[in-house]
Structure 1
């Protein structure tokens, strides 16, 4: 029995030493030694008011350089780039000009709902139109059509509103967007 108690004490001592080695501290003791309190010297009594540190004047220009030019807007809520051909460089992006009447009516659609309207396809070059399976007489090639959707608005409701605003509409219910043209 005497050897069992001795073995137990050796085991406990070795375990404690292992904890100190692993954690760098004895259980129940703080591993961080107490720091001496640092006392700041009192400022000299000169009778003068203390001065605030000088701040560097703010630069008139942002650090990242001059601001980018504002994008060309098609209307209040749409940039012209949203209507640009997305053929990845097969054309200059503008094989035709967008019809201003179409732009006004799409803006009216956006105003009606007060929600963003996402243009998925605007003007198309011949190559892009063929790539997406567009018909040979596509209004997209003339700048007279756009495909769009409005998150949170059902395709049928969006189609009816577009029709009420004077656009010809082809709803694509399964794909979740409408084709509008003038």
Structure 2
């Protein structure tokens, strides 16, 4: 199983695992969608965002824009509109951690990449990073395994 399949499986399990036992129709995805992320943009210089990007069935532009900014190509300074699917996957990951008592930001190591940055990083030619659809990340103290 590759990393993408694992993330999608985890997201699916999380969504089904947090359905309320009562008759309420409210789910995790009906709540405001917030992302808390940090990124080292230059050696020793960190940026942080903790914003709602989706609420009441609608994109919240100010939060979405700040999230896209932290996911920019830090080598060129170029930011793009990141896919909503990616942000929902990140929100699901963070929600899963939160359900298990881990309340920490996602540390972003790479988001959008320009073609040159992607080439320099050894990325594949049709990488989702080039389209604003990928993010490399970790959560402090949580082993990759």
**TM-score w.r.t. length of structure 1:** 0.40
- Indicate the structure (1 or 2) with the bigger Cα radius of gyration: 1
The structure whose RCO (Cα within 8 Å, separation 6+) is larger is 2
**Greater fraction strand:** 2
Whichever structure has more helix as a proportion of its residues is 2
